[in-house]
Structure 1
Amino acid sequence: MPTHFKIAFCFVAFTLAGAAFAGTPADKPERIRGEIVSFAGNALKVHRRSGDTVTIDMQQSAGVNAVKAIQLADIKPGSYVGAAAIPGPDGKLTAREVLVFPEAARGTGEGHYAWDLGANSTMTNANVDTVVQSTSGRDLTLSYKGGSNTINVPANVPVVTLIPATRAELIAGKKVFVVAIPKTSSTFDGKLVVVEKDGVAPPM
């Protein structure tokens, strides 16, 4: 399968974890962040930030990507990004991380919705209209169907893009971001794993 199709497939799963999900609560994808304990057969064990360890069933259809660090200056008008942000006292959104999507994934999860990377955090997947230098980084004006946001991206915020990865990279000690559907309280059906590579951990 060509690389861009593999990445695009992974983004389908990524989208499931973003916008509102219409299925039953039991089918609702969860975002799992933590560190790999082990990977054997199809069983990926992850120690979550919350302190518990869960088992994720990684069938062959589950996608695996890694993240590559890029520069804030790489974000240009016309880029398609996903920006997790939190509101400041003045209501202005400040980014916690920015994911620059490959062009093949333009339109993925488009919109502005609640996220779980801190209190009151949101995710905006949108096109970059303008980039303006500010005293605290850069201000991105983002537009999506139905609205627009301006998000400040401080210079020290992680900016990454997704690159292909393999299951051979799912080794103990690596940080991961997983999109999965719960089967029991401690087991999940894995849809997407984004794994640490070359010391760059998924910031999502």
Structure 2
Amino acid sequence: MTRRIVLLGLGALLLAGRAPARAQGGPRRIRGRIEGLADRLLTVTTREGQTVAIRLSEGVGVSALRRLELSAIAPGTFIGTAAEPGPDGVWRAMEVLVFPEAMRGTGEGHYAWDLTPSSSMTNATVDSAVQGNDGRSLTLTARGQTVKVLVPPEVPVVTPIPAAMEDLRPGAQVFLSARPGPDGVLTATRVTVARDGVVPPM
């Protein structure tokens, strides 16, 4: 049951991430370092240097990530990858999230992402995977659209695992998507936190 809740919560987080990050009333993606947690109010210093307070919903889901080998990406795997365009027209992955089978289809598509100004996110099934000297070349299909992505060997490949509120410690890196409530306070239903040295790369 815990694993199912983690998967459903992470799926909701990634689906929310498809909306424009700064849209009025829409989700805001936050990447940063925890400063504190008190009464479900999480204080985070973002990568932009701002300090924000995020209210964690009742029953908030907390997940961490586990590293995988690049060889885990095989035809038929459903992945999410943030990537930047290369000079040869091939997208170059910045990170890869390997979805568990229960999350197949989560956020499927190819759309803009705010990891960098030129990055995209592709959640799709791997049609083919070819190993080369410069990494693994993947052909992905999402909603009838084909996207080619090169995954260099140094790019982090991860998969979600359960975590707990106790993992939300000061200094830990987090990734989350939060929406402003009627009172203007940001609220999150899911937090992905660094654990065992694995920092959320999304």
TM-score (structure 1 length as normaliser)? 0.93
Q: Distance in 2 between matches of 1:10 and 1:79?
A: 17
The equivalent residue for 2:16 is 16
Q: Secondary structure at the match of 2:58?
A: coil
| Aligned residues of 2:5 and 2:61 also touching (Cα < 8 A) | no
CA distances 1:163-186 after superposition (whole Å, capped 9, x unpaired): 1111111000000001101349x8
Moved over 3 A (4+): none
Residue 64 of structure 2 corresponds to residue 66 of structure 1: yes
**1:198 partner letter:** D
| Aligned residues of 1:29 and 1:179 also touching (Cα < 8 A) | yes
Q: Give the unaligned 5+ runs of structure 2.
A: none
**2:199 partner letter:** A
Q: Secondary structure at the match of 2:169?
A: coil
Q: Give the unaligned 5+ runs of structure 1.
A: none
Q: Distance in 1 between matches of 2:3 and 2:84?
A: 33
Residue 188 of structure 2 corresponds to residue 190 of structure 1: yes
Q: Secondary structure at the match of 2:7?
A: helix
Q: How many residues in Structure 1 have an aligned counterpart in Structure 2?
A: 201
The RMSD of aligned alpha carbons is 1.9
**1:166 partner letter:** A
**CA displacement at 1:92 relative to structure 2:** 1.1
**CA displacement at 1:196 relative to structure 2:** 0.3
| Aligned residues of 2:62 and 2:192 also touching (Cα < 8 A) | yes
| Aligned residues of 1:83 and 1:99 also touching (Cα < 8 A) | yes
The equivalent residue for 1:6 is 6
**CA displacement at 1:62 relative to structure 2:** 2.6
| Aligned residues of 1:14 and 1:192 also touching (Cα < 8 A) | no
Q: Distance in 1 between matches of 2:6 and 2:66?
A: 16
Q: Distance in 2 between matches of 1:26 and 1:119?
A: 20
**CA displacement at 1:16 relative to structure 2:** 1.1
**1:14 partner letter:** L
CA distances 1:116-141 after superposition (whole Å, capped 9, x unpaired): 11121000000011110122100011
Residue 29 of structure 2 corresponds to residue 31 of structure 1: yes
